[in-house]
């Protein structure tokens, strides 16, 4: 594989912090301007919160959803656009940490969720597969270990060697347009009766009431679906979730390379894909920014953008102009497994996906919804590896 160097690059200008995914108009939703009642209030309208909203509607309960900013204005609409099965850990590492049965069950569950997401929003999903490529011999060996473990457990994976490098190809993974998907889900939920509000931050959260600047939401349960900054919304999660900034850039359409499927390299730190119009969207180098990247701040810049640009020019071999640079916060947990629990009576939280929340977040959002309404959730049981029960059995308006 080609090595790349970090020259003294001047960072080329690009529109301020706009993700490449923001390619279509969006009619803003109003802020909440009055007090309302609902069976369940969902705080956070990213992919996880919107999956929760959809599940709640399917369960026949009334929903109010609020977001401090706009629909998918956080990581959910500003990410790499990879829909990967599995957890934060590569499959063989997941087996070592979680045991064979739980790792396999989680992998199958996330594969099914990728299929569900593709069926639910086909206009936003491409069935491309994904590539993990190695940067050195040690990682090549690790790819071989991952491949062997997946094959031994009957999971789809193939050895790969090609222009992107050597590694393994997962044929069932997908690429998607994350912002388009979230907006589709929001429109659909609103059409189905969910009351959704933008620019409505939750100021105080209790199981029967959420306070916002414009009014109170009286409810029977609250689902907090916030990834980056979760520990600020629910301070009891400090120490269990730590927020980091992830950064990306994108180029003008280019025919310099042909990247048919999303690629991740260097243990998953760098990731890129080519969009249908030929643009390259590239992220990574969180570790290249030092301690300053552990922040809820979401402005792109600094050494991370420099390294991304050097990688684009050197390693990927693309000289096309950079048209977008953006960043967003995500939550990390010490063991790489998400938070999914009832943190206060009738207040559930999901987040801390450690940079891999597109699929796991959708699952956790749906699991919270089931848990809050039915009193338990089989999805949550699989994610936790044990039974999960609520403090009460069903959501009800007080």
Ligand X SMILES: Cc1cc2nc3c(=O)[nH]c(=O)nc-3n(C[C@H](O)[C@H](O)[C@H](O)COP(=O)(O)OP(=O)(O)OC[C@H]3O[C@@H](n4cnc5c(N)ncnc54)[C@H](O)[C@@H]3O)c2cc1C
* Closer residue to ligand X (CB): 81 or 220: 81
- Least separation, in Å, of the C-beta of 200 and ligand X? 7
Q: Supply angle C-alpha 65, 68, 70, rounded to 5.
A: 80
* Closer residue to ligand X (CB): 250 or 382: 250
- Least separation, in Å, of the C-beta of 143 and ligand X? 19
Binding-site ranges for ligand X (CB under 6 A): 43-49, 66-69, 73-76, 78-82, 201-202, 225-229, 233, 246, 248, 271, 283, 328, 330, 351, 353, 355-359, 361
* Closer residue to ligand X (CB): 170 or 225: 225
- Least separation, in Å, of the C-beta of 284 and ligand X? 9
200, 210 in Cβ contact below 8 A? no
Q: Supply angle C-alpha 228, 239, 218, rounded to 5.
A: 60
* Closer residue to ligand X (CB): 246 or 318: 246
- Least separation, in Å, of the C-beta of 393 and ligand X? 26
* Closer residue to ligand X (CB): 268 or 375: 268
* Closer residue to ligand X (CB): 5 or 204: 204
Q: Which residue is nearest to ligand X (CB)?
A: 357
- Least separation, in Å, of the C-beta of 370 and ligand X? 17
- Least separation, in Å, of the C-beta of 333 and ligand X? 11
């Amino acid at each position: 594989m080609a090595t790349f160097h970090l020259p003294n690059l001047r960072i080329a200008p690009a529109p301020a912090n706009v993700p490449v995914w923001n390619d279509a108009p969006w009619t803003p939703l109003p802020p909440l301007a009055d007090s309302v009642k609902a069976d369940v209030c969902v705080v956070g309208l990213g992919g996880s919160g919107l999956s929760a909203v959809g599940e709640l509607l399917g369960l026949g309960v009334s929903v109010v959803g609020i977001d401090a900013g706009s629909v998918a204005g956080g990581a959910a609409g500003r990410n790499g656009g990879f829909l990967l099965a599995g957890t934060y850990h590569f499959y063989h590492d997941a087996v070592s940490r979680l045991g064979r049965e739980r790792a396999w069950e989680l992998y199958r569950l996330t594969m099914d969720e990728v299929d569900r997401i593709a069926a639910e929003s086909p206009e936003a999903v491409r069935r491309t597969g994904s590539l993990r490529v190695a940067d050195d011999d040690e990682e090549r060996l690790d790819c071989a270990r991952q491949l062997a473990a997946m094959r031994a457990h009957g999971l789809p994976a193939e050895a790969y060697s090609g222009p992107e490098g050597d590694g393994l190809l997962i044929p069932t993974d997908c690429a998607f347009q994350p912002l388009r998907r979230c907006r589709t889900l929001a429109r659909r939920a609103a059409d189905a009766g969910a009351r959704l509000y933008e620019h409505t931050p939750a100021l105080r959260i209790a199981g029967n009431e959420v306070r916002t600047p414009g009014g109170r939401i009286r409810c029977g349960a609250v689902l907090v679906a916030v990834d980056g900054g979760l520990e600020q919304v629910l301070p009891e999660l400090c120490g269990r979730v730590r927020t980091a900034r992830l950064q990306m850039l994108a180029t003008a359409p280019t025919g310099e390379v042909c990247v048919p499927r999303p690629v991740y390299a260097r243990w998953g730190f760098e990731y890129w894909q080519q969009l249908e119009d030929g643009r390259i969207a590239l992220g990574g180098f969180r570790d290249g920014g030092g301690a300053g990247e552990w922040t809820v701040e979401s402005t792109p810049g600094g050494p991370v953008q420099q390294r991304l640009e050097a990688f684009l020019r050197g390693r990927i071999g693309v000289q096309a102009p950079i048209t977008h640079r953006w960043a967003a916060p995500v939550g990390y947990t010490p063991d790489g497994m998400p938070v999914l629990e009832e943190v206060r009576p009738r207040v559930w939280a999901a987040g801390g996906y450690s940079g891999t929340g597109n699929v796991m977040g959708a699952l956790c959002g749906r699991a919270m919804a089931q848990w809050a309404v039915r009193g338990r959730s089989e999805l949550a049981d699989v994610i936790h590896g044990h039974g999960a029960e609520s403090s009460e059995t069903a959501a009800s308006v007080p």
